[in-house]
Amino acid sequence: MIGYAIGSQAALLAIALGILAVSFGGAWLCRRRAPAVTLGLAGGALVGLVGFVASSADGPRGVPQDVGVWASLGLAVFGLLGLVFLPSRPPSTALWRATIAVAIAAPFVGVASGFLMTSACPLYVTRGAGYCFYDVDLLGGWASAVAVMIGGDLLGIAFLLGISAWQARAVERTPAGQVTLATSSATAR
């Protein structure tokens, strides 16, 4: 049992590090054209890490699902703050393409993450399971919830990308010298 717990902990750590790498990589790629997406991805990753620390203080049960909830909340809050306070920049075509690609990939990534979670933490194992403990529901429990949250987070990222593309398109269509809400006051001077 101890070998199982160590193996599942390592697999969950690998999944978490992969998600963090993709989040910070996406944030880096979007930093100039869609700063709201950058803020949302970085905020989701950092709030997820805070959620891990806070949730694991009570023990390992339910930590993966709690981290998913915290990360989703961070993505939504920081992404919406970014949409309000950080204007997007043209060209908008790359942002539209990214929006479509992320929206199409979301269900497939959600299903794949569900398979990864259940392979890292097989069902019906409760004794010595550590973070993989399924509590009462042994038919997918938190692994299904985390997979759905990952798919939903990707749809949220697609939403942020789409709004950023719309903002960039508005800046592209604004005649030179005309001030709009999408441009900063420094540009107007």
- pLDDT digits 0-9 by tens, 122-145: 776 666 667 777 666 655 677 888
Asked if residue 181 belongs to a domain, the reply is: no
pLDDT value of position 3: 44
Asked if residue 188 belongs to a domain, the reply is: no
Q: Which portions of the chain are predicted below pLDDT 70?
A: 1-7, 124-129, 134-140, 176-189
Asked if residue 37 belongs to a domain, the reply is: yes
Q: Which domain holds residue 32?
A: 2-169
Asked if residue 130 belongs to a domain, the reply is: yes
pLDDT value of position 125: 66
Q: DSSP H helical segments within the chain, as ranges?
A: 2-30, 35-56, 63-85, 93-120, 141-173, 185-188
pLDDT value of position 127: 67
Asked if residue 121 belongs to a domain, the reply is: yes
pTM of this prediction?
0.82
Is the link from the previous residue into 91 a cis peptide, with omega within 30 of 0?
yes
Asked if residue 44 belongs to a domain, the reply is: yes
CB contact at 8 A, 118 and 9: no
Asked if residue 122 belongs to a domain, the reply is: yes
Asked if residue 176 belongs to a domain, the reply is: no
Domain count, the chain: 1
